[in-house]
């Protein structure tokens, strides 16, 4: 249920409304918008049937949220959520690019790649330390050692970092090293993991599940938001379809659909969608043209020697060329990059 407050509601009235909602066993989430402050009462709403909140002083109106996702819906918050990470804003007018290798392999390659993507205009560095590999025999990531390399590189190159968490047992450690926690496609519906990540206050990059609908993606985001963490960036990274020409099928329609349904920032990962480097530029351009707030792109200083996802990784020179074109696309749709 959404409780819209009168514009002149006093703090005392607001506190009283919050106490009443909590007293009914519902969770309270306050959203201060440009025009209105609204309170979300989330939980078993049937208790409200007997306890009308309309009569409380300071309340303008009470409305049900019709969508199954509540806190992440546009109904709950009309204004775009803008996530500020070390002064870089995701979800605002500026399109942000996150770039770097699939996995952290050694300090030299990571630092070389990081300096090059930074020079080309990327604002965040990506790199996996814990890798979700299909085969248990494939390179699984450098784990703790990789996290140290990531932080060293952040300090040396000066880019905030993104890395994936696969298991709640690693979450505390990963939070010490990263600026954004990534939840990968295979874990989008790992509800225990979502809940634990929701208890932190770190920004979360939530990737769409390989076979998940947009609604399921939003329900997963709701798990994180329900724990009080509303710094969620959604990522369309391609879904599994009958098509085999590309690794996954980039669902470009997900961008405008998500922008309509939710206030959260939406980014696109053309690298995992394409599965081949030469398809990354056209998909990246389409993503920005369709309204994405950012991109997640795999770049490797030496893709031929990459231990993971080399075929889809751009060489730094190609990434630099792409960034120049993307700037023009961003400008054409009223954004900056
Ligand atoms: C990744 O970003 O390296 C990754 C494993 O992505 P996804 O979860 O989308 O496959
Ligand atoms: Mn990868």
Q: How far is CA 239 from CA 13, 63, 75, 275, in A?
A: 47, 35, 27, 12
* pLDDT at 275 > cutoff 90: yes
- State pLDDT tens for residues 68-97: 999 999 999 999 999 999 999 999 999 999
CATH architecture, domain defined by 2-63: 2-Layer Sandwich (3.30)
At residue 125, the pLDDT reads 98
The pairing of beta strand 124-126 with beta strand 161-164: parallel
The CA 301 to ligand 2 mean position distance, Å, reads 15
Task: Answer whether residue 35 shows pLDDT above 90.
Answer: no
What is the model's pLDDT at position 49?
81
Domains of the chain by residue range: 2-63, 83-332
Q: Which of 102, 183, 246 to mutate to test the pocket of ligand 1 (most atoms within 8 A of CB)?
A: 102
Residue linked to tokens 């890798």? 131
What does the pLDDT read at residue 48? 84
* 128 alpha carbon – ligand 2 mean position (Å): 8
Residue 52: pLDDT band (50, 70, 90) is confident
Convert the pLDDT of each residue in 168-203 to its tens digit. Answer: 999 999 999 999 999 999 999 999 999 999 999 999
Architecture in CATH of 83-332: Alpha-Beta Barrel (3.20)
CA distance 145 to 163: 13
The 10s digit of each residue's pLDDT in 95-109 is 999 999 999 999 999
Residue ID of nearest Cα to ligand 1 atom 1: 102
Kindly report, residue by residue over 289-298, the tens digit of the pLDDT.
999 999 999 9
- What is this structure's pTM? 0.96
Contact between residue 256 and residue 266 where contact means Cβ atoms under 8 Å apart: no
Distances in Å between the Cα of 292 and the Cα atoms of 5, 143, 165, 185, 287 are: 32, 31, 24, 18, 6
Q: Given the CA of residue 208, which atom of ligand 1 is nearest to it?
A: 9
**Residue 51: other Cβ atoms inside 10 A:** 12
């Amino acid at each position: 249920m959404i409780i819209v407050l009168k514009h002149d509601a006093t703090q005392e009235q607001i506190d009283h409304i919050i106490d009443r909602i909590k007293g009914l066993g519902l969770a309270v989430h306050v959203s201060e918008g440009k025009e209105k402050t609204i309170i979300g009462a989330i939980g078993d709403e049937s208790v409200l049937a007997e306890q009308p909140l309309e009569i409380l002083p300071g309340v303008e109106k009470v409305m049900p949220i019709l969508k199954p996702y509540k806190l992440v819906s546009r109904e709950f918050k009309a204004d775009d959520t803008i996530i500020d990470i070390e002064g870089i804003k995701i979800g605002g007018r500026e399109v942000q690019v996150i770039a770097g290798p699939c996995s952290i392999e050694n300090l030299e390659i990571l630092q070389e790649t990081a300096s090059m993507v930074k020079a080309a205009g990327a604002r965040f560095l990506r790199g996996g330390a814990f890798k979700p590999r299909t085969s248990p025999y494939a390179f699984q990531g450098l784990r703790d050692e990789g996290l140290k390399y990531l932080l060293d590189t952040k300090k040396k190159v000066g880019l905030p970092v993104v890395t994936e968490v696969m298991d709640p047992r690693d979450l505390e450690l990963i939070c010490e090293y990263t600026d954004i926690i990534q939840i990968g496609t295979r874990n989008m519906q790992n509800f225990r993991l979502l809940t634990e990540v929701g208890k932190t206050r770190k920004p979360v990059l939530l990737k769409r599940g390989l076979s998940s609908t947009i609604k399921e993606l939003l329900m997963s985001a709701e798990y994180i938001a329900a724990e009080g963490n509303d710094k969620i960036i959604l990522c369309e990274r391609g879904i599994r379809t009958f098509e085999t020409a590309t690794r996954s099928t980039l669902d470009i329609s997900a961008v405008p659909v998500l922008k309509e349904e939710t206030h959260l920032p939406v980014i696109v990962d053309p690298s995992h969608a394409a599965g081949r480097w030469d398809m990354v530029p056209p998909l990246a351009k389409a993503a920005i043209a369709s309204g994405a707030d950012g991109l997640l792109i795999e770049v490797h200083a030496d893709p031929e020697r990459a231990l993971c996802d080399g075929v889809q990784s751009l060489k730094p020179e190609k990434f630099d060329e792409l960034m120049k074109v993307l700037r023009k696309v961003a400008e054409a749709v009223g954004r900056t990059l």
